[in-house]
Amino acid sequence: MRILLLSILVLLFTGCPRSTLGDRLFDINYPVVDFTIPAGIPGFQTYVIAQPRMETNFQDRLDESGFTAEDVDVVGGIRARVVSLSGEDFREIERAELRVCSADETDCTFIDLMFSVSDLGGRRQQVINLNPGQKNFRNIFLDNEEVRMELVLTAFNVTTQNIEARLEWTVGALGGL
Protein backbone atom coordinates (compact mmCIF):
# COMPACT_ATOMS: atom_id res chain seq x y z
CA MET A 1 0.00 0.00 0.00
CA ARG A 2 2.82 2.40 0.87
CA ILE A 3 4.59 1.63 -2.38
CA LEU A 4 1.41 2.40 -4.33
CA LEU A 5 0.94 5.68 -2.49
CA LEU A 6 4.57 6.63 -3.00
CA SER A 7 4.31 5.77 -6.71
CA ILE A 8 1.24 7.94 -7.12
CA LEU A 9 2.92 10.88 -5.38
CA VAL A 10 6.03 10.57 -7.54
CA LEU A 11 3.90 10.41 -10.69
CA LEU A 12 1.88 13.41 -9.55
CA PHE A 13 4.91 15.61 -8.86
CA THR A 14 6.81 14.62 -11.99
CA GLY A 15 3.75 14.81 -14.21
CA CYS A 16 2.74 18.36 -13.32
CA PRO A 17 4.27 20.89 -15.71
CA ARG A 18 6.12 23.95 -14.46
CA SER A 19 3.93 27.01 -14.14
CA THR A 20 4.25 29.49 -17.01
CA LEU A 21 2.60 32.35 -15.16
CA GLY A 22 5.81 34.36 -15.08
CA ASP A 23 7.11 36.56 -12.30
CA ARG A 24 5.44 39.64 -10.88
CA LEU A 25 8.02 42.39 -11.34
CA PHE A 26 6.24 45.19 -9.48
CA ASP A 27 2.84 46.70 -8.66
CA ILE A 28 1.68 50.30 -8.77
CA ASN A 29 -1.06 51.38 -6.35
CA TYR A 30 -2.74 54.40 -7.89
CA PRO A 31 -4.18 57.19 -5.74
CA VAL A 32 -7.75 56.61 -4.64
CA VAL A 33 -10.49 58.48 -6.46
CA ASP A 34 -13.40 59.76 -4.36
CA PHE A 35 -16.67 60.40 -6.18
CA THR A 36 -20.44 60.57 -5.74
CA ILE A 37 -22.94 58.39 -7.57
CA PRO A 38 -25.97 60.68 -7.86
CA ALA A 39 -29.59 59.68 -7.47
CA GLY A 40 -31.65 59.61 -10.65
CA ILE A 41 -29.33 57.73 -13.04
CA PRO A 42 -31.54 55.61 -15.33
CA GLY A 43 -30.61 52.03 -16.18
CA PHE A 44 -30.20 52.79 -19.88
CA GLN A 45 -27.54 55.44 -19.26
CA THR A 46 -23.99 54.92 -18.00
CA TYR A 47 -22.38 57.14 -15.39
CA VAL A 48 -18.69 57.83 -16.06
CA ILE A 49 -16.11 59.03 -13.56
CA ALA A 50 -13.10 60.02 -15.67
CA GLN A 51 -9.58 61.21 -15.10
CA PRO A 52 -8.62 62.47 -18.56
CA ARG A 53 -4.89 62.86 -17.84
CA MET A 54 -3.53 60.63 -15.15
CA GLU A 55 0.21 60.07 -14.71
CA THR A 56 1.16 56.40 -14.94
CA ASN A 57 4.46 56.70 -13.01
CA PHE A 58 5.28 53.48 -14.82
CA GLN A 59 8.73 54.45 -16.06
CA ASP A 60 9.71 55.74 -12.61
CA ARG A 61 8.60 52.49 -10.99
CA LEU A 62 10.39 50.51 -13.69
CA ASP A 63 13.62 52.40 -12.97
CA GLU A 64 13.23 51.98 -9.18
CA SER A 65 12.71 48.23 -9.50
CA GLY A 66 15.85 47.73 -11.60
CA PHE A 67 14.01 46.19 -14.54
CA THR A 68 14.00 47.37 -18.16
CA ALA A 69 11.14 47.68 -20.63
CA GLU A 70 12.34 44.47 -22.31
CA ASP A 71 11.80 42.57 -19.03
CA VAL A 72 8.09 43.47 -19.00
CA ASP A 73 5.90 41.04 -20.93
CA VAL A 74 2.45 41.89 -19.57
CA VAL A 75 0.93 44.90 -17.82
CA GLY A 76 -2.53 44.38 -16.42
CA GLY A 77 -4.90 44.87 -13.56
CA ILE A 78 -4.11 43.22 -10.24
CA ARG A 79 -6.99 44.41 -8.08
CA ALA A 80 -9.68 47.07 -8.07
CA ARG A 81 -12.60 47.81 -5.85
CA VAL A 82 -15.27 50.42 -5.29
CA VAL A 83 -16.04 51.11 -1.63
CA SER A 84 -19.09 52.90 -0.23
CA LEU A 85 -17.96 55.69 2.09
CA SER A 86 -21.42 56.79 3.16
CA GLY A 87 -22.70 53.38 4.31
CA GLU A 88 -25.16 52.76 1.47
CA ASP A 89 -24.88 49.54 -0.47
CA PHE A 90 -24.56 49.18 -4.24
CA ARG A 91 -27.80 47.23 -4.85
CA GLU A 92 -28.85 49.75 -7.52
CA ILE A 93 -25.68 49.24 -9.61
CA GLU A 94 -25.79 46.49 -12.25
CA ARG A 95 -22.31 46.72 -13.80
CA ALA A 96 -18.97 48.40 -13.06
CA GLU A 97 -16.05 48.72 -15.49
CA LEU A 98 -12.63 50.31 -15.18
CA ARG A 99 -11.24 51.32 -18.56
CA VAL A 100 -7.76 52.65 -19.36
CA CYS A 101 -6.71 54.12 -22.70
CA SER A 102 -4.31 56.67 -24.14
CA ALA A 103 -4.74 60.21 -22.81
CA ASP A 104 -5.20 61.35 -26.42
CA GLU A 105 -8.53 59.50 -26.62
CA THR A 106 -11.72 61.40 -25.82
CA ASP A 107 -13.45 58.26 -24.50
CA CYS A 108 -12.25 54.79 -23.63
CA THR A 109 -14.18 51.90 -25.21
CA PHE A 110 -15.07 48.38 -24.15
CA ILE A 111 -11.81 47.23 -25.76
CA ASP A 112 -9.92 49.23 -23.10
CA LEU A 113 -11.42 47.18 -20.27
CA MET A 114 -8.95 46.63 -17.43
CA PHE A 115 -11.46 45.50 -14.77
CA SER A 116 -15.16 44.68 -14.79
CA VAL A 117 -17.93 42.97 -12.88
CA SER A 118 -21.57 42.50 -13.86
CA ASP A 119 -24.82 41.05 -12.49
CA LEU A 120 -24.57 43.17 -9.36
CA GLY A 121 -28.20 44.30 -9.28
CA GLY A 122 -29.92 43.64 -5.96
CA ARG A 123 -26.78 42.63 -4.05
CA ARG A 124 -26.58 44.43 -0.76
CA GLN A 125 -22.82 44.90 -0.57
CA GLN A 126 -20.83 47.98 0.35
CA VAL A 127 -17.72 46.87 -1.56
CA ILE A 128 -17.59 45.93 -5.24
CA ASN A 129 -14.53 43.85 -6.14
CA LEU A 130 -13.83 44.12 -9.86
CA ASN A 131 -12.32 41.27 -11.87
CA PRO A 132 -9.19 41.84 -13.99
CA GLY A 133 -9.62 41.75 -17.76
CA GLN A 134 -7.51 39.87 -20.28
CA LYS A 135 -6.04 42.73 -22.29
CA ASN A 136 -2.29 43.39 -22.15
CA PHE A 137 -1.78 47.11 -21.41
CA ARG A 138 2.00 46.92 -21.89
CA ASN A 139 2.18 49.32 -24.84
CA ILE A 140 -0.18 51.85 -23.27
CA PHE A 141 1.80 52.05 -20.02
CA LEU A 142 5.27 51.86 -21.56
CA ASP A 143 4.62 54.31 -24.42
CA ASN A 144 2.65 56.95 -22.49
CA GLU A 145 3.42 58.95 -19.38
CA GLU A 146 -0.27 59.80 -19.04
CA VAL A 147 -3.39 57.71 -19.59
CA ARG A 148 -7.12 58.29 -19.46
CA MET A 149 -8.93 56.33 -16.74
CA GLU A 150 -12.69 55.87 -16.66
CA LEU A 151 -14.89 54.14 -14.13
CA VAL A 152 -18.13 53.30 -15.94
CA LEU A 153 -21.18 52.43 -13.83
CA THR A 154 -24.48 51.10 -15.15
CA ALA A 155 -27.54 51.32 -12.91
CA PHE A 156 -29.92 48.39 -12.38
CA ASN A 157 -33.03 50.57 -12.72
CA VAL A 158 -33.00 54.18 -11.54
CA THR A 159 -30.71 55.10 -8.66
CA THR A 160 -32.70 56.46 -5.71
CA GLN A 161 -29.91 57.66 -3.43
CA ASN A 162 -26.59 59.46 -3.56
CA ILE A 163 -23.65 57.22 -2.72
CA GLU A 164 -20.29 58.61 -1.66
CA ALA A 165 -17.72 56.12 -2.92
CA ARG A 166 -14.03 55.53 -3.52
CA LEU A 167 -12.14 53.69 -6.26
CA GLU A 168 -8.95 51.83 -5.30
CA TRP A 169 -6.94 50.07 -8.00
CA THR A 170 -3.56 48.47 -8.65
CA VAL A 171 -1.70 47.67 -11.87
CA GLY A 172 1.08 45.09 -12.08
CA ALA A 173 3.90 44.22 -14.46
CA LEU A 174 4.77 40.60 -15.22
CA GLY A 175 7.89 39.21 -16.84
CA GLY A 176 9.51 35.90 -17.62
CA LEU A 177 6.72 34.58 -19.81
Query: Under a CB-based contact definition with an 8 Å cutoff, are residues 77 and 170 in contact?
Result: yes
Q: Residue 6's pLDDT is what?
A: 66
Cα separation, 80 vs 82, in Å, equals 7
Q: Does domain 22-175 have CATH number 2.60.40?
A: no
The conformational region for residue 87 under phi > 0 = left, psi -120 to 50 = alpha, else beta, is left
**Domain spans in the chain, listed from the N-terminal domain onward:** 22-175
pTM, two decimals, is: 0.84
Distance CA 144, CA 85 (A): 32
Task: Give the pLDDT confidence of 77-125 residue by residue, as tens digits.
Answer: 999 999 999 999 999 999 999 999 999 999 999 999 999 999 888 788 9
